[in-house]
Amino acid sequence: MECYCKSKKDFSECCKPYLSGEKKVPSAEALMRSRYSAYVLGDGNYILKTATKDAGFEVDVALIQEYAKSVKWLGLEIVKSDVDEVEFKAYYKDSDGLKVQHERSNFIFEDGVWLYRDGEFLNSKIGRNILCPCQSGKKYKKCCKLT
């Protein structure tokens, strides 16, 4: 099965070993991808475990899981990736329609482990002429934009 993070790798060779703790995450981008997969799977424990204490994730794991399961995650696009910063777009569908979370996330390598530190939300819209994130194969303007 293709990984949820859209890396074009198999889940068992991409994010699964990080989510299970079998392997250490080797980079900020790999952590970003595995955290996206954790949201898709509703794994609030992984989200909490992979964030710094001051990242603001001290909230109840159940709240994270409730949010993660309240939307249908459609895909992840890495816009730019540096050593400790990853800009991404996460596409999802909720009761109001198709949305994009565009964020520039900052990571820190601390005690031999990559952690999410914080992020800046960027204002972004889904382009009319991109392939629709719902994976229908149609352009967005001819697909989910109509619903």
Q: Which of 40, 44, 104 is nearest to 74 (CA)?
A: 40
**Model confidence pLDDT, tens digit, residues 17-47:** 999 999 999 999 999 999 999 999 999 999 9
Q: Which of 76, 87, 81, 102 is nearest to 26 (CA)?
A: 81
Q: Which CATH architecture has domain 11-146?
A: Roll (3.10)
Q: Is pLDDT above 60 for 96?
A: yes
Q: What is the pTM of this model?
A: 0.89
Question: Domain limits of the chain?
Answer: 11-146
Q: Are 28 and 64 in contact (CB under 8 A)?
A: no
The residue type at 115: L
**Model confidence pLDDT, tens digit, residues 66-88:** 989 999 999 999 999 999 999 99
Burial bucket for residue 4 (CB in 10 Å: 0-12, 13-18, 19+)? buried
Dist CA 89 CA 93 (whole Å) = 13
32 φ, ψ (degrees, to nearest 5):
-60, -45
Q: Is pLDDT above 90 for 61?
A: no
SS (H, E, C) 30-99: HHHHHHHHHHHHCCHHHHHHCECHHHCCCCCHHHHHHHHHHCEEEEEEEEEECCCEEEEEEEEEECCEEE
